Amino acid sequence: MEKEKLFEGMCDVIIRGEKSEAADLAREAIKMDVSPVEAIDKGFVRGIREIGERFDREECYLPELVMAADAMIAATDVLREAMKEGAERPQVIGRAVIGTVQGDIHDIGKNIVGTLFMVNGFEVVDLGQSVPTGTFVQKTDELKPDVVLMSALLTTTMPAQQDVIEALKQEGLRDTVKIMVGGAPVSQEWADRIGADGYGKNALQGISVAKQLLGV
């Protein structure tokens, strides 16, 4: 299979929300020596971007969006395992701690962001969903990450991002780490208001901003 056809197929299976087919194409990419970064960026992310745009235009509905995200996760899980087994180990350029803030159990976007950061050279520690403010503080102190990534999908949980920043200030840790926020209701204006260092509208933009913040 030619690479461009592979990428087109990856895009298509994400749009259709086919988990098993997405995983199969991820395995096919590994066999073809296509890097995980290229497979995600040129294939799977194209599908996520397309289904997201269709959702914004009200051309599809939430169940289709969720199915697409599940297919994306199935594909990236395969690529994660390949990297662990040594298929590709990018040079580590920084450590990132990521989590969905307290009260928010939506982690699809967070999972995609974490995967993309990993394949772009970050060592990623995923704290999971509905992460207490104290856990963000504890892990920042313990792991000494370069960047903390906080996701919030609900307007009601957005204030928890500010709570984490204030807690880090109180513990004298705020200046030791860059903080980025994201999620559907989050904006650059909100990031500026709560004192975050960066904001990513989507996963790819988030990577670019993180690299700029760290000077890598």
Predicted TM-score (pTM) of the model is: 0.74
Where exactly are the structural domains of the chain? 3-84, 94-214
Residue-wise pLDDT tens digits, 75-121: 988 987 777 666 455 578 999 999 999 999 988 778 878 877 877 78
User: What is the Rg, in whole angstroms, of the alpha carbon atoms belonging to the chain?
Assistant: 17
CATH of domain 3-84: 1.10.1240.10
Neighbouring residues of 41: CB distance < 8 A, sequence distance ≥ 6:
204
Residue 29 · residue 41 · CB < 8 Å: no
Phi-psi region of 147 (alpha: psi -120 to 50; beta: other; left: phi over 0): beta
Please name which of 114, 83, 23 lies closest in space to residue 9, comparing C-alpha atoms. 23
Q: What is the mean pLDDT of the chain?
A: 90
Q: In Å, how far from its chain's centre is CA 4?
A: 24
CATH of domain 94-214: 3.40.50.280
3-class SS at 183?
A: coil
